[in-house]
Amino acid sequence: MTTSRPLRADAARNRALLLAAAADEFAEHGLGASVADIARRAGVGKGTVFRHFPTKDDLIAAIVLDRIQALAAIGERLLDSGDPGAALLEFLTAAAQQRQQRDLSFLQEAGDVRPEVGKARTAMFQTIDTLVDRAREYGVIRTDVTGTDVILLMCAPGYVANSLPDAAPDLWRRYLAIIFDGLRPEGAHPLPQPPPDLL
Amino acid sequence: MTTSRPLRADAARNRALLLAAAADEFAEHGLGASVADIARRAGVGKGTVFRHFPTKDDLIAAIVLDRIQALAAIGERLLDSGDPGAALLEFLTAAAQQRQQRDLSFLQEAGDVRPEVGKARTAMFQTIDTLVDRAREYGVIRTDVTGTDVILLMCAPGYVANSLPDAAPDLWRRYLAIIFDGLRPEGAHPLPQPPPDLL
DNA sequence: CGATAAGCGGACCGGGCGGTCAACTTGCTA
DNA sequence: TAGCAAGTTGACCGCCCGGTCCGCTTATCG
């Protein structure tokens, strides 16, 4: 990797401040937020932003990558869990929670702005796939539901914050519960359309 | 209202071309798409855009309003339907279908750019609320699910197009089905958090 | 068909954007 | 604590965007 010598103390602090400020700014104004505003919010000069991130897209990619890898780490840890059903629910909870903390709808806007982001996403999807396979074999979700299904379905609860500004802060749990009920084998109705194979 | 004299034939045609071109351009590049590109796509000059829509926001509002009112009309019609369960499913199908035709994720970005848009949205939400009340009384959905719940949940299937570019064109039916299963009373589990009252 | 006003187009403008740079400051190390 | 490389800064640049404007075109109607 490109692990050169460690950052100077103040540089490391500024980098962290910038990532936080950028996430907040993007949450409030979308990806259109200006680099100058981000710098002001972080309390640094504009030049400092470009020293840490050569372009605005690099800054965006750094944030997105951070979130994806955080989720991937949680998923990986849950692979060793004893109860596959609880593991899947816990993962989906973590995903919804992450989206809820800050408004992360700009992640949708961002897409895969850098190839590394796509790579990380694919890796995380693979983890989810395994998580779902185990839950299915364990009998806690329908036999006709795939990992891809769950990946797409799990987008929904996170949008709550955005759509309903003054909602209770853990309302997303309610929607996660409804969707999880739809995944359960008990009251399952036959599904149209065979699922596609992501990856 | 401001119903002045009818548009000239060519002007009406250009207005329609512009709305379509703008929807396509916003779908491809987000709300950041430039007015000049929209004009080029519609085959008209940039000045023509501003003749029909004084500002870019007015153009955005016109598109959003169009989609909301189309959905609202469908909902209104379904209020007179005999089977409340089928009516609700049909409405949700129409909503997902609309989102699928073009990538409408930029609607999220837009928010209520003009007060009239908020008004129209509130009106549509009220229609959905009635639709859901009837379905609940009919026993086809859980007693603890509200209109607001359905409004938020119905966002999910539409995002399929955006997240999975090469998916089958009617894959959203699959996700709508799963969510609808989660709404059914049969395998329902108790829900956390009392629902908020939208409106 | 001719007059007229509604509609059209694209050069043009000011502002704000992403990105650069050279002078200055500061944490690290010997 | 002296020296220096790493880090910071904000004025600056060129580009592109939303929006204006006015000379030209054309649908409409008596």
Domain boundaries, chain B: 8-54, 56-183
The CATH homologous superfamily for domain B56-183 is Tetracycline Repressor, domain 2 (1.10.357.10)
Give the pLDDT band (50/70/90) at residue A3. Answer: low
Contact B38, B22 (CB under 8 A): yes
Looking at the predicted structure, is the pLDDT value of residue B69 above 60?
yes
| Residue B30 DSSP class | G
The structure tokens listed for B132 are: 């859901």
Q: Which residues, at least 6 apart from B126, have a Cβ–Cβ distance to it below 8 Å? A: B199
Q: For the domain bounded by A8-53, which CATH number is listed?
A: 1.10.10
How many Å apart are CA B164 and CA B1, to the nearest integer? 43
Q: Which residue of A has its CA nearest to B32?
A: A32
Looking at the predicted structure, is the pLDDT value of residue A54 above 90?
yes
Evaluate if the CB of B179 falls below 7 Å from strand D: no
How does pLDDT run across A162-187, given as a tens digit for each residue?
Answer: 566 666 777 888 888 888 998 898 87
Evaluate if the CB of A48 falls below 7 Å from strand D: yes
| Residue A77 pLDDT | 97
Substitution target from B175, B198, B199 for chain A, most A beta carbons within 10 A: B175
How many Å apart are CA B53 and CA B62, to the nearest integer? 9
Q: Which residue, chain included where needed, has tokens 């962290």?
A: A16
Give the pLDDT band (50/70/90) at residue B156. Answer: low
| Residue B1 pLDDT | 47
Nearest to B187 among A105, A151, A184 (CB): A184
For residues B17-39, give the mean pLDDT: 96
The structure tokens listed for A160 are: 């709550």
Contact yes or no for A195 and B173 at CB 8 A = no
Contact A132, A183 (CB under 8 A): no
Q: Which residue of B has its CA nearest to A33?
A: B32
Buried/exposed code over A2-39 (b: 16+ C-beta within 10 A; e: otherwise)? eeeeeeeeeeeebbebbbebbbbbbbeebbebebeebb
Give the pLDDT band (50/70/90) at residue A156. Answer: low
- For strand C, the positions having any atom within 7 A of a protein Cβ are 6-12, 16-22, 26-28
For residues B170-187, give the mean pLDDT: 85
Query: Given this structure, which CATH class describes domain B8-54?
Result: mainly alpha
Domains B8-54 and B56-183 share a fold: no
Give the pLDDT band (50/70/90) at residue A159. Answer: low
How many Å apart are CA B85 and CA B134, to the nearest integer? 8
Residue B92, classified by CB atoms within 10 Å of its CB into exposed (0-12), middle (13-18) or buried (19+), is buried
For residues A16-38, give the mean pLDDT: 96
For residues A95-112, give the mean pLDDT: 80
Give the pLDDT band (50/70/90) at residue B5. Answer: confident
Evaluate if the CB of B56 falls below 7 Å from strand D: yes
Contact yes or no for B149 and A188 at CB 8 A = no
